[in-house]
């Protein structure tokens, strides 16, 4: 198990803004890598009700189960590596391994046995260092839709916020609120 606090800022982009940002940060097409996020919750969205999200990320032949939980002004991420066999089982309805994430979900009063696989969002992503943080450009496809997003992962909230909004101004990109990916996915799938 690995845990980390994530402080990030997000903004939706048009395709043209996405391409301009990739050019500005010198991110050529080969810098973009594809990953898949497989999303889970109970049929009554118990995790979502707690402000949490559960996914398996598939990237470079590796599989990581991640639980995201709100914590103060950041997101606490708990990660556990999975084998391909474990991942295939979970996607087919098996219960997640009885490790740390299982225990955390149980401690929230949610039965891990009730988790269901809702679908997959694929993202083509590139990252670049930027002012004590990391710029992330994402092109996501899911349920017949696509969107473009700019994220800035920062070490500290106030400095990160200043850097993020200055970057948007430099790139001449209007501020557009961005829900996280799992919320966009659920909105497309369930209208929620």
The C-alpha atoms of residue 171 and residue 21 are separated, in whole angstroms, by 7
Q: Which distant-in-sequence residues (6+ apart) come within 8 Å of 133 by Cβ?
A: 152, 153, 154, 155, 160, 163
Helix (H, G, I), strand (E, B) or coil at 28: coil
What is the tens place of the pLDDT at every residue in 40-98?
999 999 999 999 999 999 999 999 999 999 988 889 999 999 999 999 999 999 999 99
Mean pLDDT of the chain: 94
CATH superfamily, region 2-190: Hypothetical Protein Pfu-838710-001 (2.40.320.10)
- What's the pTM? 0.91
Using the predicted structure, report yes or no on whether residue 192 has a pLDDT greater than 80: no
The single residue listed with the structure tokens 């996607």 is 91
The model's pLDDT over 104-127, given as tens digits with 9 standing for 90+, comes to 999 999 999 999 999 999 999 999
Segment 5-16 shows an average pLDDT of: 95
DSSP 175: -
175's tokens: 């501020």
* Residue 37 and residue 55 in contact, taking contact as beta carbons nearer than 8 Å: yes
Residue 163 has pLDDT above 80, yes or no: yes
3-state secondary structure 107-136: HCCCCHHHCEEEEEEEEEEEEEEECCEEEE
Percent of the chain past pLDDT 90, that is, above it, reads 88
Mean pLDDT of 154-183: 94
């Amino acid at each position: 198990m690995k845990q980390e606090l994530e402080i990030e800022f997000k903004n939706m982009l048009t395709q043209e803004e996405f391409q301009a940002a990739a050019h500005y940060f010198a991110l050529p097409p080969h810098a973009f890598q594809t990953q898949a996020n497989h999303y889970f919750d109970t049929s009554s969205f118990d995790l979502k009700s707690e402000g949490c999200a559960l996914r398996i990320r598939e990237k470079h032949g590796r599989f990581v189960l991640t639980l995201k939980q709100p914590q103060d002004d950041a997101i606490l991420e708990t990660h556990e590596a999975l084998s391909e066999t474990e991942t295939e089982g979970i996607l087919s309805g098996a219960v997640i391994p009885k490790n740390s994430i299982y225990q955390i979900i149980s401690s929230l009063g949610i039965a891990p046995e009730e988790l269901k696989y809702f679908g997959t969002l694929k993202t083509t992503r590139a990252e670049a260092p930027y002012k004590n943080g990391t710029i992330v450009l994402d092109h996501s496809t899911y349920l017949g839709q696509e969107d473009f997003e700019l994220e800035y992962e920062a070490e500290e909230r106030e400095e990160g916020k200043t850097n993020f909004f200055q970057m948007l101004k430099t790139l001449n990109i209007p501020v557009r609120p961005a829900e996280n990916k799992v919320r966009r996915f659920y909105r497309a799938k369930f209208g929620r």
